[in-house]
């Protein structure tokens, strides 16, 4: 008797064939029981040269109960039968050479710190697997609940990262360390939105100033960590973002989708 699992195995096999003909190579990563440190070096490298072809897909076709979303979603045409939700794929195609490779110069700017990545987010029976776009790494900090002490004996809360708790990866689990530590790098996808539309009668508080810039971020499943309001995300270019609306889903399309306020722009 043929059941849904066997049918999906056949679908995955067919998608793997399509990926081999149409897709550039990716390296697959997974958090392992001994993973400690930064992405990608601390994550387990599952495979190299995994061919994946991707196509944009609308959020309206996915199991996501959100009214608005800026995450880029892809249908994944590749053999996903051996992979789990939360696995990350990073494109490794060499620099563009006609008829040979399709990397820097064709799909990215040479020398960029960004990368072409996908997180496996949904792999339901009877459907093409779904992935979320990843394009950079970031560090996550949470405000400390213990105030610092002034010399006069009073207490205060530091408004920079100096006293924040860094998110660190130890033995496959994320947790918050002590302020003296540096947060580990995690993969994420970042998308911008237009500045808030306001009445012409309402001007920025500072003459010549700008309204708050907002971004969206997608985080793959990071065991041990659930984003919350007030968490800070610092990207590799030095920009700092504050989580104002987190939404995490562990069934359906998994991962965390975050609305961010940008507090500090990228380094010059």
Average pLDDT over residues 159-181: 88
- pLDDT computed for residue 15 by the predictor: 86
CB contact at 8 A, 118 and 85: no
Average pLDDT over residues 195-218: 66
Answer with the residue of higher pLDDT: 143 or 213.
143
Number of neighbours of residue 85 by Cβ within 10 angstroms: 18
Average pLDDT over residues 203-221: 75
pLDDT in tens, 217-236: 999 999 999 999 999 999 99
Q: Which of 30-44, 82-96, 100-114 has the lowest mean pLDDT?
A: 100-114
- pLDDT computed for residue 252 by the predictor: 87
Q: What does the block give as tokens for 167?
A: 């998110």
Nearest-angstrom CA–CA distance, 104 and 115: 10
Average pLDDT over residues 84-109: 93
CB contact at 8 A, 228 and 189: no
CB contact at 8 A, 27 and 89: yes
Q: What does the block give as tokens for 263?
A: 């507090």
- pLDDT computed for residue 214 by the predictor: 83
Q: Which residues make Cβ contacts (< 8 Å) with residue 68, sequence separation at least 6?
A: none
Which residues on neighbouring strands pair with residue 108, listed in sequence order? Answer: 104
Whether 70 has a pLDDT exceeding 90, the answer reads no
Every domain of the chain and the residues it spans: 4-136, 137-264
Indicate the fold that domain 137-264 takes in CATH.
Thrombin, subunit H (2.40.10)
40 preceded by cis ω (within 30°)?
Answer: yes
Mapping DSSP to helix (H, G, I), strand (E, B) and coil, where does residue 100 land? coil
What is the DSSP track for 125-180? TTS--EEEEE-EEEEEEE--SS-EE-TTS-EE--SSGGGSEEEEEETTEEEE--TT
Nearest-angstrom CA–CA distance, 144 and 56: 39
Confidence at 189, pLDDT banded by 50, 70, 90: very high
Average pLDDT over residues 166-194: 93
Query: Which residue in 198, 201, 168, 200 sits closest to 182, CA to CA?
Result: 168
Average pLDDT over residues 247-264: 91
Mapping DSSP to helix (H, G, I), strand (E, B) and coil, where does residue 61 land? helix
Nearest-angstrom CA–CA distance, 209 and 237: 23
């Amino acid at each position: 008797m043929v059941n849904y699992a066997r049918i999906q195995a056949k679908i995955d096999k067919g998608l793997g064939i399509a990926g081999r003909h149409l897709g550039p190579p990716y390296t697959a990563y997974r958090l392992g029981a001994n993973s400690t440190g930064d992405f990608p070096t601390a994550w387990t490298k599952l495979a190299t040269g995994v061919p994946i072809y991707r196509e944009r897909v609308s959020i309206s076709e996915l199991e996501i109960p959100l009214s608005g979303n800026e995450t880029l979603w892809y249908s994944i045409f590749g053999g996903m039968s051996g992979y789990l939700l939360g696995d990350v794929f990073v494109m490794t195609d060499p620099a563009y050479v006609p008829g040979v490779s399709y990397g820097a110069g064709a799909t990215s700017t040479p020398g960029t710190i960004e990368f072409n990545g996908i997180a496996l987010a949904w792999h339901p029976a009877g459907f093409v697997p779904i992935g979320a776009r990843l394009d950079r790494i970031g560090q996550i900090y949470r405000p400390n609940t213990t105030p610092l002490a002034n010399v006069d004996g009073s207490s205060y809360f530091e408004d920079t990262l100096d006293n924040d708790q860094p998110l660190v990866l130890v033995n496959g689990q994320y947790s918050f360390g002590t302020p003296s530590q540096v947060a580990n790098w995690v993969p994420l996808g970042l998308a911008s939105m237009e500045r808030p539309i306001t009445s012409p009668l309402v001007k920025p508080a500072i003459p010549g100033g700008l309204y708050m810039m907002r971004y969206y971020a997608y985080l793959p499943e990071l065991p041990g960590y659930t984003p919350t309001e007030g968490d800070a995300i610092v990207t590799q270019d030095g920009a700092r973002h504050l989580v104002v609306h987190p939404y995490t889903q562990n069934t359906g399309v998994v991962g965390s989708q975050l609305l961010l306020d940008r507090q500090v722009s990228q380094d010059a």
